Chain A
């Protein structure tokens, strides 16, 4: 298979004022196939969210190569869109206007913008709330808006930075199921960052486990579960076996981090 999103030897060091520099990523290499659901799991601070921001084009790496479909990534672009952990909705805009944001910046005329946004709002089940403001919505609804907004510009790659971490457990389960349905319908390539082994195992085709900071790929685990997936699958021993595999890869990194803290 030919890789679709490719990162090679990414190095990125943050140099905050008056503090020691922190190397977030060092020699990070990664590839994703077209249409794949790929998750990144790793200890906190391993640079997985940072990597998404690099892919999004908001942060420039010090060195390394980034490619999407054979094209070098140099900055933000409409073939990539992010769903943010803290939603990132503009509070002064209605649901509809928030979903329109990307289209507006792309220069799409108002009527086409509206039509396309309504379509996506319908896709995430918020039609009745088109004219509501974000502060009138629950967390789950806000993230639906975030998802609709990211899909509105019809990107090829959807970047999701712990999108459900701020939600309660039940909302989270529902959002995961809906995300899978939407993914199935839209055939996007999804790069999904999460802390949750369960979430990664349930959603993904492959899971990349990252090392502690500076982050690089520790192991790649293929999730051999049939699709469409359902909640019951999460209760099988096969699923638990997969979780154990991810955990085993991750645990050394967590232990390593704990030791660091004590020394």
Chain B
């Protein structure tokens, strides 16, 4: 056995106790200012997506590839009865193209848009003080305007509204160029 800790005699009792205690104490409300983040994997690197700008997390989605005026557009996915355009975070973050994994986050603001990434890592709730502005806020990628410290590691935070603005700008630029 590779990990002998799982086989000590008190392991099952510990699991049982932790599960039982979940229902023993009353629900605790989060006190203070905090931010809910989704840690995702893009090109092997971790990125955080604020939960406030999202309407949902989905996996196993089928994406129909369609061309569009914005280069980061991959295709269209069906999300709960409506067609949502899907953009690739690889394309936004400068990673080489790859087949879509099926993981999507969908923006809350209308018009809704989906963003494809390579994998879901974890749900994280961090203090607001742990989210700090990034130096790239005014650069080529304005949607990476901040970074969050999760488990002691600082990872860049994608700002979904700025991504949507970037998409709208590129769409307008494309229509103007036509």
Partners in one complex: no
Interface residues of B (CB under 8 A from A): none
Interface residues of A (CB under 8 A from B): none
